[in-house]
Structure 1
Amino acid sequence: MYKVLLVDDENLVLKSLAAGVDWKKSGFYVAGKANNATQALELIQELQPHVVFTDIRMPGLSGLELIKQIKELDKHIQIIVISGYAEFAYVQKSLNYGVLGYCLKPFDDHEIHTLLQTAAGNLDEIKHKREGKLLELLDDPAAAWAQSAFHDILADAGITSDKVYLLVSVGKGRLTFLAETHYAGINLGYARSVYWVQASNRDALSAALPSPLPDGILGIGILQADRNVEGMMQLIEQCTVRAWDFFIHNRRDLYWEESQTKDDTAALLIRKLERAVVKSEFALAGALLDEMCLPSNKQCLSIYHTLRIYNIVYFHSASHTSEDDYIFSKEQLYHLFPSFDQMMDSLKESLNDGPLPISASRAAEGETEHANLKEIIKYMHENYRNHISIQSISRIFYLHPNYLSQLFKREIKVTFTEYLTNVRLKEAKNLLRTTNLPIGEVAETIGFRDYFYFTRIFKKNTQQTPKQYRMLSIGGGEE
């Protein structure tokens, strides 16, 4: 919600305005009140409001001078003048100072609500531009202007301390913080957001977060960081790994990054598992999976360890594998299994079942193969915006993943992943040429869950960043 500061030398006016408007309905709340311009300036520095309602004529420093100084402090603050009919000449002059509008006493609720809607629209646009700039900085932290621009963005959000807390949330939705918390945040994809938060210590940060966590937020990774844009993506990745601990421990919680010596227990267990699987020692492999589920060993595992475990065990019996068959993303694993424990149970069943041969009869079905593939391709074109994978498609069409992978290579001469990527990128180019959607929204619209993964794939396939492609495509069609 956006913060409002009310300024008037009459307490009755302040009480009337505070109580007579449904601020919450418009997405605002009254953060403070001031009886004069000097007090208002102090509160603006302390509270950093988004909107200021101010009287135009007050004793001491005038409302006009206050407006001028507010704009010098922060040009983005939305200012609404409150006045009586007698001061209308002053109101007209204030419009030259960049105020949003004015409302006359006695107040009209509809008039104020309309002004608040306009203010919210302006603030949302400023927020989107700021988020877009942050994404650019993280994408190109070595640029000469990156560090100073990063500092400016944090300062605009009220973050001035040398150390900040970095938070990454996994899941749908955004975090909310206590009203007085200074923070900046951006979406990094469909189900990941990052926040820079100013807090004196861990307890203060924890107190600033809602409890319980909002529905849709699965986990949060936290660490303390310098206000340095270089190396920030590596820290964000560390936080992301911590946030995904919810999958392993099956609880929604805050996961702090600790400074401790790296524990090699997980790596050792995974090496043993790989050797057992390669040698077809499935009883030993099952025992190792049980060992990994012990609380002391489970604590050593990260989401990337779980990906490795899944890929080692799931494909132990496949006659043919390709890069399409492997799971590379955390989201894909969570799409298949709601928790680490259920994944491990499934893998142990797979070991007990023995090899899963690829059907030789299907390879000789000829026309049936083509018919299946047409239906699969139709499904992909209709659902590419959603989370789909070779495993999910295989389940829907009752095919083995390895068989489906071979079908794509044999009939279309590309892998499943390449085909899906091409479908998504074609639509991405169309959206970049024909709409003004932010690049992050383009990525989400076409089914990419992470902004930076989308930009890497786009550049790899087009030799241009999405921003470069959009700029070069203005006024022209696709090559």
Structure 2
Amino acid sequence: MYKVLLADDESYVTKSIASTIPWEELGLELVHIANNGVEALEYIDTSPVDIVITDVRMPGISGLDLCKQLNQKNKNIKIIIISGYADFAYAQKAMRFGCISYCLKPIEYEELQYFLNIAVNKLNEKYRNNPVNLLDSIESENLEQIRKGLKLNGIAQDNLYTAIALGNDIMVDYKLRNNCICLKLGVGKYAYLFENPQEQMIFIKKALQNPKILGIGYCKKASNLKDLKSDIQHCINLSYQFFIEGQSCACSERYSSDFASEKMNSIRLFLASNNYHEVIGVLQDIQHSTYRKLFQIQDALKLCNSIYSSLTTEDDKYIYTFDQLVQEYGNFNNMLIKSMEFLTESRTLDVSQCYQASSNFLKIIKYINNNYTDDISIKNVADMLNLSPNYISQLFKKETGTTYTKYLMRLRIDKAKELMDNTMLSISEISEQTGFNDYFYFLKAFKKSEGITPGKYRKKL
């Protein structure tokens, strides 16, 4: 419901409007009736509103002065002027202060309702775009801008309850609904900010009933604005617990496990001495132990990379994000199985065969250039072209002097810079269109590559 304030010193006018307009049908809530401009400003200073309907002539502050001050405070407030004076000069000034319409008394309620619909449509458009700016403010930890973004979305408090949902569905639209703000973090990844824990719990219950939702991470305690970025990142990590569990779940805390740290230490020691048989034994212990669920997504990522780095010096086998891990293996148990197979199989390859395969290399490059916006790993490319991942890795190194992973990263970064140069797309939208399915990972990768954040790069332009 968008919030409406009505300001007029004639009580019969306000009573008539209040009782005649079908507020709820329009998606509106009449939250306050002010008798003058001063009272209207005092209310708006403490309670955000989306639409103001005001008379031109009122004691204290005129309707036009009210419009001017509201325009200075918040240009997103939609203003409708009502007046008994058919004066073009009044209307002209009203439009200059951002008013969307000028209605004459006696009021024609169909006309007023028509202009309220216009205001609602404009607000819907604003709420679809505003969370992107709010996300940028959270990333830069600009508390003042975060407060402004929250206030524009109808939230005026500094303590929020956070949740992250992963999956091919969005639980609410990009606007305020049920005291909630939704922010898109990447493909199938959304952050939700709530005013109270009750709404958070209702959301989690509904999300778990949705078959398209894979995992949910949430904080039981309220997050203050200075910790909002870190708490969102914390919830992102928690949301991937479904990978460990092997089924959709909601997670609110990370467990400190001696079992996980003990097994990880054993694997590192055995890998260092090239004792792969013992590593397989430890992986089997993890697979069959009831304590397996005490592992976290970070542990799984480290475990996977430790094993593959033990048998190859190339970085193509490395997993850099949780999304890659999920795409590659689906769940933790499958990752353990594939890791054991990797350790037991012979990974030798006649490198000389690679040097004779320029046609295959051209196919590989063409496939990457046509599909870099997707989450493609070297295994995906190998499967699509009926080649071995090791074959592609060695062929890539021979033909380009770099690795598959570095080539793909460079391509995506260059495409992102091109979009920042030539479009008005937001940073979040650019990250998605260049194959970075995680907003925060894109920021980190871009800064590592270019030495500055995407936001600063765009400002330099």
Q: CA–CA distance in 2 between the matches of 1:439 and 1:190?
A: 14
SS state at 2:414 partner? helix
Q: Is the 8 A contact 2:396 2:402 kept in 1?
A: yes
Q: CA–CA distance in 2 between the matches of 1:43 and 1:217?
A: 40
Q: Is the 8 A contact 1:31 1:49 kept in 2?
A: no
1:10-21 pair list within 5 angstroms: 11=15, 13-18=17-22
The reply to whether residue 120 of structure 1 matches residue 110 of structure 2 is no
Match of 1:133 among 125, 130, 137: 137
One-letter identity of the residue aligned with 2:244:
I
Q: Is the 8 A contact 1:36 1:58 kept in 2?
A: no
One-letter identity of the residue aligned with 1:270:
M
One-letter identity of the residue aligned with 1:219:
G
Q: CA–CA distance in 2 between the matches of 1:63 and 1:434?
A: 42
Match of 1:396 among 372, 377, 384: 384
Q: Is the 8 A contact 1:84 1:105 kept in 2?
A: no
The reply to whether residue 358 of structure 1 matches residue 352 of structure 2 is no
The reply to whether residue 256 of structure 1 matches residue 252 of structure 2 is yes
Structure 1 equivalent of residue 172 of structure 2: 176
C-alpha change, 1:464 and 1:89, in structure 2 (3 Å) is closer
Q: Say which is worse superposed, 335-344 or 105-114, in terms of deviation.
A: 105-114
Residues 205-259 of structure 1 deviation map (CA, whole Å, 9 limit, x = unaligned): 3136671356754323222355353x6544333222111112222444432136x
One-letter identity of the residue aligned with 1:81:
I
SS state at 1:386 partner? coil
Q: Any unmatched runs of 5+ in structure 2?
A: 8-12
Q: Is the 8 A contact 2:217 2:252 kept in 1?
A: yes
1:99-114 pair list within 5 angstroms: 99-102=99-102, 105-108=108-111, 112-114=116-118
C-alpha change, 1:241 and 1:365, in structure 2 (3 Å) is closer
Residues 16-49 of structure 1 deviation map (CA, whole Å, 9 limit, x = unaligned): 4326x964xxxxx223354554797787578633
Structure 1 equivalent of residue 10 of structure 2: none
The reply to whether residue 237 of structure 1 matches residue 233 of structure 2 is yes
Structure 2 equivalent of residue 280 of structure 1: 276
Structure 2 equivalent of residue 31 of structure 1: 29
C-alpha change, 1:179 and 1:464, in structure 2 (3 Å) is closer
Q: Is the 8 A contact 1:4 1:53 kept in 2?
A: no
Q: CA–CA distance in 2 between the matches of 1:72 and 1:434?
A: 31
Residues 164-201 of structure 1 deviation map (CA, whole Å, 9 limit, x = unaligned): 323333345555399675555543333434444332xx
C-alpha change, 1:65 and 1:462, in structure 2 (3 Å) is closer
C-alpha change, 1:251 and 1:46, in structure 2 (3 Å) is farther
Aligned-pair identity (%): 27
1:286-325 pair list within 5 angstroms: 286-292=283-289, 294=290, 297-313=291-307, 318=311, 320-325=312-317
Q: CA–CA distance in 2 between the matches of 1:397 and 1:60?
A: 76
The reply to whether residue 187 of structure 1 matches residue 184 of structure 2 is yes
Match of 1:167 among 158, 163, 169: 163
SS state at 1:392 partner? helix
Q: Is the 8 A contact 1:315 1:321 kept in 2?
A: yes
Q: Is the 8 A contact 1:385 1:446 kept in 2?
A: yes
Q: CA–CA distance in 1 between the matches of 2:156 and 2:33?
A: 28
Distance apart, 1:331 and its partner CA? 0.4
Residues 40-98 of structure 1 deviation map (CA, whole Å, 9 limit, x = unaligned): 77875786332344566789997657656755764432223356787988655544543
Q: CA–CA distance in 2 between the matches of 1:120 and 1:102?
A: 21
User: How many pairs does the alignment contain?
Assistant: 444
Distance apart, 1:284 and its partner CA? 2.0
Q: Is the 8 A contact 1:157 1:182 kept in 2?
A: no
C-alpha change, 1:78 and 1:431, in structure 2 (3 Å) is same
Q: CA–CA distance in 2 between the matches of 1:329 and 1:51?
A: 43
C-alpha change, 1:165 and 1:285, in structure 2 (3 Å) is same
One-letter identity of the residue aligned with 2:76:
H
Match of 2:243 among 219, 227, 247: 247
C-alpha change, 1:148 and 1:45, in structure 2 (3 Å) is closer
Distance apart, 1:359 and its partner CA? 3.3
Structure 2 equivalent of residue 143 of structure 1: none
The reply to whether residue 384 of structure 1 matches residue 360 of structure 2 is no
Q: Is the 8 A contact 1:176 1:209 kept in 2?
A: no
The reply to whether residue 5 of structure 1 matches residue 9 of structure 2 is no
One-letter identity of the residue aligned with 1:338:
G
Distance apart, 1:379 and its partner CA? 0.5
The reply to whether residue 333 of structure 1 matches residue 325 of structure 2 is yes
C-alpha change, 1:180 and 1:120, in structure 2 (3 Å) is closer
Q: Say which is worse superposed, 297-306 or 190-199, in terms of deviation.
A: 190-199
Q: CA–CA distance in 1 between the matches of 2:265 and 2:287?
A: 15
Q: Any unmatched runs of 5+ in structure 1?
A: 24-28, 139-145, 474-479
C-alpha change, 1:447 and 1:17, in structure 2 (3 Å) is same
C-alpha change, 1:73 and 1:427, in structure 2 (3 Å) is closer
C-alpha change, 1:281 and 1:328, in structure 2 (3 Å) is same
The reply to whether residue 80 of structure 1 matches residue 80 of structure 2 is yes
Q: Is the 8 A contact 1:183 1:198 kept in 2?
A: yes
The reply to whether residue 466 of structure 1 matches residue 454 of structure 2 is yes
Q: Say which is worse superposed, 91-100 or 425-434, in terms of deviation.
A: 91-100
Distance apart, 1:445 and its partner CA? 1.1
Q: CA–CA distance in 1 between the matches of 2:360 and 2:454?
A: 34
Q: CA–CA distance in 2 between the matches of 1:18 and 1:36?
A: 19
One-letter identity of the residue aligned with 1:80:
I
Structure 2 equivalent of residue 418 of structure 1: 406
Q: CA–CA distance in 1 between the matches of 2:132 and 2:233?
A: 23
